A and B are shown apart, each in its own frame.
Chain A
Amino acid sequence: MVRSRGFKVGKIGGAPLRALARLGGSELAARLHLLGPVQRAIYEGARAGTKAISSFGASAAKKRAAQAAEAQRLGPSKGPALFDLAPTDEQALMRDAMRRFAEEVLRPAAHAADAAATPPDQVLAQGHALGLAGMMIPESLGGAATERSTVTHALIFEELARGDMGLTTAILSPLAVVQAIVTWGTGEQQARYLPPFLEERFVPAALALLEPRPLFDPMRPRTGAVRSTDGGWALWGEKSLVPLAATAEVFVVVAEVRGVGPRLFVVERGTPGLTVESDPAMGVRAAGLGRLRLEAARVPDEALLGGQASPNEFDVGDLVDRARIAWGAMAVGAGQSVLDYVVPYCNSRQAFGEVISNRQAVAFMVADIALELEGMRLMVHRAASRLDQGLDVAKHATLARMQCASKGMKIGSDGVQLLGGHGFIKEHPVERWYRDLRAIGVLEGALLA
């Protein structure tokens, strides 16, 4: 068994193997061949697609009876003794596969999806086939994860976002729900909600934290949950810019329980009192953003993630930090796509008899993008690796977010600037990246690294 930090390659299962094979081509196959043990592990661990259980209810009935209600958690790991910036072989392999997926699937679909403000089903299905859910679900629950792997996730998110931030948000949105349930759900909730995410079908789902008002404080959401006298909860409030809102079969909603603090509630589609409307924004449009209105939305006692048993393990700060690391990785990916785009452009665009990159005013702007981008990346990686090691990350995630918000936006703006008028029109993707990068520093929650 080949073990990498955070997941066992051999147990990723059939879906990612198929995805790798589909992406494969000869180059990747050759790389797999070079990494013999990894390849063997993937093949040995590969399992054919399993029986289709497509609704949470069906699997719930089955699992509830069968499974002990012990919650499965992914623990921190001891970090390496030395400072190190080199990814593991498995991480490098995964990163390359994600890069190809981003280039071949996400980037070509980005423009139309942005205009339609909806992700194409085909892209979601292909994204699901990457098998990322399996990497996040513990072995004992049918996945392949053995410990926290935030760094791996950050590398993956970055590569996908290089293709398109909006589509990546859509693909990763259900994984935030998966991770929330893995991290904070009871054994019963894990058994009920996690299995469908390991099936063939893409299950749309979303984590809703952000609310539609200025100076939103993610530590103090105004959406509230009130315990009913006859059992169950009534949720009140509004959540905005929720990915996949129109199709999500399940939402995990952050709501304040008076006297207790923010808690997570599973709200299934069709819950009375829940209405969903479209909420398109400046950017990240391909994520299919929507607004949730909760007006005495009734959910049962079991909807409270982690249950009522005290001490409840949930701390909204952990969720905020992990989301910020995820969005930071997205900013790095989008920033990298800007850099990758402006370098050849400035090296070929002629003005005053030579390429514009021969001028310092242009060249230094490009250099600045490269330099600030690397700083952002290192800050995101540091926060992610601290999380994996079980170290405090509140400060590092916050600083990484601030840096990614300000420098990421500068990169987005400079990307348009470098193309001048051409950057302002939709013939080039830099105007989309400008809009997408403004999401950093605005969006909270929605994704978890």
Chain B
Amino acid sequence: MINLEVPKRLRAVAEQAHAIGVNVFRPISRKYDSAEHTYPKELDLLAAVLAGMNDGGGRASAAALSGAKKEDAADGPPRNKNGGNMAAVIGMAELCWGDLGLALTIPRQGLGNAALSAVGTREQKEQYGKRWIAMAITEPNAGSDSAAIRTSARLEGDEWVINGEKIFVTAGERSDAVVVWASIDPSLGRAAIKSFLVPKGTPGMKVVRLDHKLGIRASDTATIVFEDCRVPKDNILGSAEIDTRKAFAGVMKTFDNTRPVVAAMAIGVAGAALDRTRELLGRARPPEADARSPWLGSHVEAELARLDAELEAARLLTLKSAWMADNGIPNSLEASMAKAKAGRVAVELTLRCVELCGAAGYAETDLLEKWARDAKITDIFEGTQQIQMLVVARRVLGKSSAELR
């Protein structure tokens, strides 16, 4: 039966995450935006608390907060579920209402952790489950086009030998290990791309640079070079076989679960900007006009209502894609819709809020300008706006990636 209200159990997740946003993140937001590359040690305590609740690892800390795992017990016909994916997006949105950069650098909540819990073996999970794992995909000449990856992994005896350069590795410096995407046979294109667990301190692996960024400056973004870096044969995630039909699709499938989470980040930072703008404007002017007819009031009110509507559309698309994932319904299309909508709305909304608040919005005395910088990454990482539109367009029009490039 159609109902788009978030259930009480997940509202509790939202409240807890919101409290972290208010009490842990907001007080140090500006500090770590200014002191880029300084590790936010305040998060260690938070990580310990989250780790205590989160036995399985994975980035979906909010899912752990919610106790989402308790749920799937019922037998019988498939029953509507509001599970870990919904908890993850709801929790992440609230954490990012607090601070997007800090939410990205909560220890042991890396993207690599998500990959490990999705496809790792039991042994791998035992060995790496308690570590902070980053994800290294992008290369200087391979961004959205992950098939162009040149980093290679060559099997020599019982070891993989990895060579290449990875950029834009979130938590690349702070993490304990990195999941590296590399080709085991560059002549076979995308199907030969596999991922490998590489612990920090492995000879041949070196963090060579930390980037200075537009936003999410609390989160470190590293360049990592691999030169004859050797890891045990068992450190491959998933199968070493090359299936030219399915393998890359399998790799990409991770995105079906992570894109809604990135959409949630966008919604969180956008919501923060809208709330703060209303607060600042409320101080500046008395409320007026009926809420049902915002366009009969001031332009500012009409604009805020419009942005609110856009945010609501993004929020519901995100919840839908997570709900589908929770219920085992294929959601590639919806995950891309949510990510595309949320990313563009977050950028437009946060920038508009700066504009509406004038100097008070643009100056560093408030966080609005920071959120407008932070928001931009949500329209880029985990697939740019343009990549999401390609995914949506191909699905809607029934096209292959060869037909619609």
A218 within 8 A of B: yes
Docked-complex contact B393 and A363, CB < 8 angstroms: yes
A399 within 8 A of B: yes
Docked-complex contact A217 and B404, CB < 8 angstroms: no
* In the complex, residue of chain A having the shortest beta-carbon distance to the beta carbon of B313: A375
- In the bound assembly, the distance between CA atoms of A182 and B196 in angstroms comes to 65
Docked-complex contact B292 and A378, CB < 8 angstroms: no
- In the bound assembly, the distance between CA atoms of A372 and B338 in angstroms comes to 10
Cβ-neighbour of B337 out of A366, A374, A398 (below 8 A):
A374
Contact residues in A for B390 (Cβ distance below 8 Å): 360, 363
**Chain A nearest CB, measured from B10 CB (Å):** 8
B154 within 8 A of A: no
- In the bound assembly, the distance between CA atoms of A368 and B8 in angstroms comes to 33
Docked-complex contact B294 and A86, CB < 8 angstroms: no
Contact residues in A for B398 (Cβ distance below 8 Å): 343, 347
- In the bound assembly, the distance between CA atoms of A372 and B316 in angstroms comes to 11
Cβ-neighbour of B316 out of A88, A218, A378, A389 (below 8 A):
A378
**Chain B nearest CB, measured from A56 CB (Å):** 32
Docked-complex contact A218 and B293, CB < 8 angstroms: yes
A358 within 8 A of B: yes
C-beta contact mask, B311-336 vs A, less than 8 Å → 1, else 0? Answer: 01110110110010000000000100
A371 within 8 A of B: yes
Q: A371-B340, A374-B337, A376-B313 are in contact. Are A395 and B4 (CB under 8 A)?
A: no
A357 within 8 A of B: yes
Cβ-neighbour of B317 out of A217, A363, A375, A386 (below 8 A):
A375
Contact residues in B for A87 (Cβ distance below 8 Å): 1-2
Docked-complex contact B5 and A366, CB < 8 angstroms: no
Q: A82-B82, A358-B404 are in contact. Are A215 and B296 (CB under 8 A)?
A: yes
C-beta contact mask, B285-297 vs A, less than 8 Å → 1, else 0? Answer: 0000011111010
A226 within 8 A of B: no
Docked-complex contact B309 and A379, CB < 8 angstroms: yes
Tell me what chain B mostly uses at the interface: helix, strand, loop, or mixed. helix
Docked-complex contact B397 and A343, CB < 8 angstroms: yes
Docked-complex contact B2 and A84, CB < 8 angstroms: yes
- In the bound assembly, the distance between CA atoms of A85 and B323 in angstroms comes to 8
B396 within 8 A of A: yes
Contact residues in B for A346 (Cβ distance below 8 Å): 397
- In the bound assembly, the distance between CA atoms of A358 and B405 in angstroms comes to 8
Docked-complex contact B292 and A398, CB < 8 angstroms: yes
Total B residues in contact with A, Cβ cutoff 8 Å: 48
A403 within 8 A of B: yes
Of B1, B313, B340, chain A has the most CB atoms within 10 Å of the CB of B1
**Chain B nearest CB, measured from A142 CB (Å):** 26
B298 within 8 A of A: no
C-beta contact mask, B1-42 vs A, less than 8 Å → 1, else 0? Answer: 111111110100000000000000000000000000000000
Cβ-neighbour of B290 out of A219, A374, A376 (below 8 A):
A219
B80 within 8 A of A: yes
Q: A368-B389, A375-B316, A378-B317 are in contact. Are A83 and B5 (CB under 8 A)?
A: yes
**Chain A nearest CB, measured from B348 CB (Å):** 13
**Chain B nearest CB, measured from A324 CB (Å):** 8
Tell me what chain A mostly uses at the interface: helix, strand, loop, or mixed. helix
Docked-complex contact B393 and A83, CB < 8 angstroms: no
Docked-complex contact A217 and B392, CB < 8 angstroms: no
Docked-complex contact A363 and B399, CB < 8 angstroms: yes
Docked-complex contact B293 and A84, CB < 8 angstroms: no
**Chain B nearest CB, measured from A346 CB (Å):** 7
Q: A88-B1, A343-B396, A363-B393 are in contact. Are A81 and B7 (CB under 8 A)?
A: yes
**Chain A nearest CB, measured from B25 CB (Å):** 26
Docked-complex contact B316 and A357, CB < 8 angstroms: no
- In the bound assembly, the distance between CA atoms of A244 and B337 in angstroms comes to 39
- In the bound assembly, the distance between CA atoms of A363 and B2 in angstroms comes to 31
Docked-complex contact B291 and A395, CB < 8 angstroms: yes
B256 within 8 A of A: no
- In the bound assembly, the distance between CA atoms of A442 and B313 in angstroms comes to 21
**Chain B nearest CB, measured from A374 CB (Å):** 6
Docked-complex contact B1 and A84, CB < 8 angstroms: yes
Of B80, B317, B393, chain A has the most CB atoms within 10 Å of the CB of B393
Docked-complex contact B313 and A80, CB < 8 angstroms: no
Docked-complex contact A403 and B4, CB < 8 angstroms: no
**Chain A nearest CB, measured from B76 CB (Å):** 16
* In the complex, residue of chain B having the shortest beta-carbon distance to the beta carbon of A346: B397
B308 within 8 A of A: yes
Contact residues in B for A81 (Cβ distance below 8 Å): 7-8
B86 within 8 A of A: yes
Docked-complex contact B317 and A360, CB < 8 angstroms: no
Docked-complex contact A218 and B340, CB < 8 angstroms: no
**Chain A nearest CB, measured from B113 CB (Å):** 26
B403 within 8 A of A: yes
A186 within 8 A of B: no
A382 within 8 A of B: yes
Docked-complex contact A79 and B5, CB < 8 angstroms: yes
Docked-complex contact A358 and B291, CB < 8 angstroms: no
A406 within 8 A of B: yes
- In the bound assembly, the distance between CA atoms of A349 and B396 in angstroms comes to 16
- In the bound assembly, the distance between CA atoms of A151 and B81 in angstroms comes to 20
A86-B2, A363-B389 known; 19 new pairs, CB 8 Å cut-off, are: A81-B7, A83-B5, A83-B323, A347-B398, A357-B404, A358-B399, A358-B403, A371-B340, A371-B392, A372-B341, A378-B313, A381-B2, A382-B312, A385-B3, A385-B4, A395-B291, A399-B312, A403-B310, A403-B313
- What are 10 A-B contacts defined by CB distance under 8 Å? A81-B7, A317-B292, A357-B399, A358-B404, A370-B337, A375-B317, A378-B313, A399-B312, A400-B309, A406-B309
Minimum-distance CB pairs A-B, first 9: A375-B313, A378-B316, A367-B393, A382-B4, A363-B393, A367-B392, A399-B309, A403-B309, A402-B309
